[in-house]
Chains A and B, each alone.
Chain A
């Protein structure tokens, strides 16, 4: 309805019947007069009957039209398609840009519908009221680039089709990109000069969206630019008060690795954006795993948060064990509330079959395996030999180390390796030592066991490197007699770090220290280093021997992104009975913990916020396969073939359109085959900050724009209500002028026709 006050128009239209009614009633109200000169009267009537009828009709039509024009001007006619055929001139054409906030907060429930439903309804109605000469653009905040606008800039030739497209819009899973959208609008206005220009912003204007200082300054600049360009800004605020919204803020792996059959700790953080305390919040956990070649969702037992205070977060820890290696997604879901979009988040993980440990045996003995340095350790780490314990170990000799690709392993364990190839200081050549150092810097883990073969010159020289090498401390000649085994040392219960890999012996496990004997060890000299390197962390003693000096039994230091642990005894039973693992577990557990403590962290990031691209490095074995990505809405949305891109020596596949929250499944298939050779899951989560639903209100919008020079219309989730008074393409002035002209015409005609004297 092209009226700002349609009710007034309809009333006026009904009032048009008044002149007709009056005309008809007048025919029933008359005075009676006896008349003698009837002949002349009849003669006059006969000669003028037709003219009288026409005059009467003209006057009636003019009077009805006057009322109609009065109603239309008071109702503030805003135009219709018919008006566009009039040569109204350049000043009457308009450039109208609608910025529709389709962030996921617009999915907030309000009444029987949602906030975005109200906005879409208003937008569809307004689109239907625009003239054919108006240049229209509709920009979505989820894709603010002008090239990706929902519509335009163009004339509307098929309003119904556009309205249908508007109505079918769903809120995106992205955050509000108001600034970018308004910037896009500014570019559109710059490209379409002339005529009236108007920007409508349909948004919920959340306080959280408008309070970031940088964004506010940018918005204020953008607004000022628009006003300077003569753009009228109209804001339609659909922000509704939130009644209590809970958000899954994050789902994260608390442990360093995700290994099959190894329990891993998952942290789920829930934030209460509402004003009231949330109690007994049930968090439903699900696991999406590959079962016999197909992914399926497994529902796990729900966890309950007893209470989450308003404005606060609570973290829930769950222990989950994945039975199968591969790509999995762990998701947490809250009960439905007024904003469903942030009730669910997930964590995509690449669950490894096992941590891969490379054991470099400094004294291999294939004939008498038990005498090898690596025998007991390998047994402790990987009893079955197939990695079922979560660690898969591979044993090599020191000589074979040079040929190994260290990056295929999560940690390297040097077992009584006397020396590694190295170059003297100043020479920059790749050596085994330099390769090992780089490996650790890149995040790899290194464990060094000393032993009889430990070369002090090497260990205190290139390996220690003045305190910035891989070795945490200088070491001295072995202490104790491993042959006669007369004297032995135990671990000092007080010297065990409770969170370290030796935690078995900490606290209540202190008594276990009496079950392990060390007949010899290499004492470490704890002291300040000669050199310092910011990339090399200070050494920490995680366990001590119970000798007079409380010598370090286990020390560790960070080295670049990796970690080095040094155990100052042998991995074998040569210097200690510890590897005998009596009682069972006394050796196995700390070694397993040591592996997890030191091994390369799981650095792959398969989870991110909506909008962040999916990128995956293709392994050589998959280079001949086709990469296909199934978006979260598959099969409703078709899968996408992704080309492999070359980036230096790496081959990557990339997908940018991660606008939807959910799981993106990247599959590698051989040509002509449907089954996937490999499948990697990626999780995209909505930005939890969008869950802060508190509206900014008029004051907030004014503060963000830095001005009140705009029209603010409060919609508050309501659709279909009468439009607030807003400047529109109005014709009331023309109608008023026409009405005045018609009044003058009516007076003139009535006098001319003899109705007035």
Chain B
């Protein structure tokens, strides 16, 4: 049972399932089945307050410091217990279409992969009674679903992902600025994109979220082809999002391409880290648990930081 569920973490297997909601559920179940305990147990984003211990509470949440000081038995309360508000911003520009068109290595296009990840994380969060919102964008914000903790909200989320197909160009900075003003309560903003945009503009946009104390996370989705550039033979590369076209012998350019890509990735990561933005690069060939784990690890790190402040 456990192995059967975990197979759905494989994008190749997941690609065979057409329904996104089903994909999301299977990913979550597969993910959870592989964990010894709920990933959200004990994970919190931020310590909120204490309350008196009552019999039946998990003793691991007892604040032993308070007990040592006051000889009182109190339990720590966390914000997630009080509704984490997560908003996923999903890049639906034309560049995210890559993968499916070309039979990408992962079997899923970047957009599909991003949708799977976002949907799976949304499923997880909603299961924990957290609120999840969604923004689908390209040059403009095509769809916005405000955060909701309603378990049925996953259907809305999944539907919004499904009806939006990648097209148009990307305009991440403007979207970020717009969304920063739109999201009212402080929460988690997770950008799921290939980030084929101006890096500095992106950072400025993400800093706008940070300005409003949002937790920002970037899931940088790239196709394995984009990461490895394994092509051979004369190829006419037709750029998506009107980026031109080029007839080259890929092998001759591979090294330069990878260098340019590596420079870009390092720059993005450096600037994200400098801006206290969580950054995770995922490949469409990777199992989805990697993306989920990175998200959860980021959440755990944030929770530890919040606990230490208090």
- Interchain CB contact under 8 A, A35 and B251: no
Q: Which of B110, B233, B252, B264 is A36 in contact with, Cβ under 8 Å?
A: B110
B42 CB–A CB distance under 8 Å: no
Number of A-B contacts (CB under 8 A): 112
Q: How far is the CA of A757 from the CA of B254 in the complex (A)?
A: 11
Q: How far is the CA of A661 from the CA of B243 in the complex (A)?
A: 93
- Interchain CB contact under 8 A, B252 and A754: yes
Q: How far is the CA of A403 from the CA of B226 in the complex (A)?
A: 135
Interface of chain B residues 248 through 290 with chain A (CB within 8 A): 248-249, 251-257, 259-261, 264
A753 CB–B CB distance under 8 Å: yes
Q: How far is the CA of A52 from the CA of B254 in the complex (A)?
A: 12
Stretch at the interface among B19-27, B97-105, B124-132, B211-219: B97-105
Given the contacts A48-B256, A754-B255, A36 and B247 also touching, CB distance less than 8 Å: no
Shortest Cβ-Cβ A-B pairs, 8 listed: A44-B256, A38-B239, A38-B243, A36-B95, A30-B234, A36-B98, A40-B260, A35-B237
- Interchain CB contact under 8 A, A34 and B240: yes
- Interchain CB contact under 8 A, B240 and A38: yes
A581 CB–B CB distance under 8 Å: no
Q: Tell me, rounded to whole Å, the shortest Cβ–Cβ distance linking B254 to chain A.
A: 6
A45 CB–B CB distance under 8 Å: yes
B150 CB–A CB distance under 8 Å: no
- Interchain CB contact under 8 A, B240 and A754: no
Q: Which residue of A lies closest to B194 (CB)?
A: A36
B40 CB–A CB distance under 8 Å: no
Q: What chain B residues lie within 8 Å of A56 (beta carbons)? A: 252
Number of residues of chain A lying within 8 A (CB) of chain B:
29
- Interchain CB contact under 8 A, A41 and B236: no
- Interchain CB contact under 8 A, A42 and B246: yes
Q: List 13 A-B contacts (CB under 8 A).
A: A30-B247, A31-B234, A33-B235, A37-B257, A38-B244, A40-B257, A41-B260, A42-B246, A44-B259, A45-B248, A48-B256, A754-B251, A755-B251
Given the contacts A27-B234, A42-B244, A44-B257, A33 and B102 also touching, CB distance less than 8 Å: yes
Q: Contact residues of A with B, CB < 8 Å?
A: 26-27, 29-45, 47-48, 52, 55-56, 753-757
B232 CB–A CB distance under 8 Å: yes
Q: What chain A residues lie within 8 Å of B29 (beta carbons)? A: none
Q: How far is the CA of A753 from the CA of B233 in the complex (A)?
A: 14
Q: How far is the CA of A42 from the CA of B245 in the complex (A)?
A: 9
Interface of chain B residues 100 through 114 with chain A (CB within 8 A): 101-102, 110
Q: What chain A residues lie within 8 Å of B223 (beta carbons)? A: 36
- Interchain CB contact under 8 A, B226 and A30: no
Q: How far is the CA of A48 from the CA of B258 in the complex (A)?
A: 13
Q: What chain B residues lie within 8 Å of A48 (beta carbons)? A: 252-253, 256
Q: Tell me, rounded to whole Å, the shortest Cβ–Cβ distance linking A370 to chain B.
A: 131
B38 CB–A CB distance under 8 Å: no
Q: How far is the CA of A40 from the CA of B236 in the complex (A)?
A: 15
- Interchain CB contact under 8 A, B253 and A31: no
- Interchain CB contact under 8 A, B196 and A35: no
Q: How far is the CA of A753 from the CA of B259 in the complex (A)?
A: 15
- Interchain CB contact under 8 A, B196 and A41: no
- Interchain CB contact under 8 A, A33 and B237: yes
Q: Tell me, rounded to whole Å, the shortest Cβ–Cβ distance linking A380 to chain B.
A: 119
With most chain A CB atoms within 10 A of its CB, the pick from B94, B237, B240, B244 is B237
- Interchain CB contact under 8 A, A40 and B235: no
B2 CB–A CB distance under 8 Å: no
B238 CB–A CB distance under 8 Å: yes
Q: Which of B94, B235, B241, B251 is A31 in contact with, Cβ under 8 Å?
A: B235
Q: Which residue of A lies closest to B233 (CB)?
A: A31
Given the contacts A39-B196, A40-B264, A753-B252, A33 and B236 also touching, CB distance less than 8 Å: yes
Q: What chain A residues lie within 8 Å of B247 (beta carbons)? A: 27, 30
Q: How far is the CA of A754 from the CA of B255 in the complex (A)?
A: 8
Q: Which residue of A lies closest to B222 (CB)?
A: A37
Given the contacts A26-B234, A30-B235, A44-B257, A37 and B196 also touching, CB distance less than 8 Å: yes
Q: Which residue of B lies closest to A751 (CB)?
A: B251
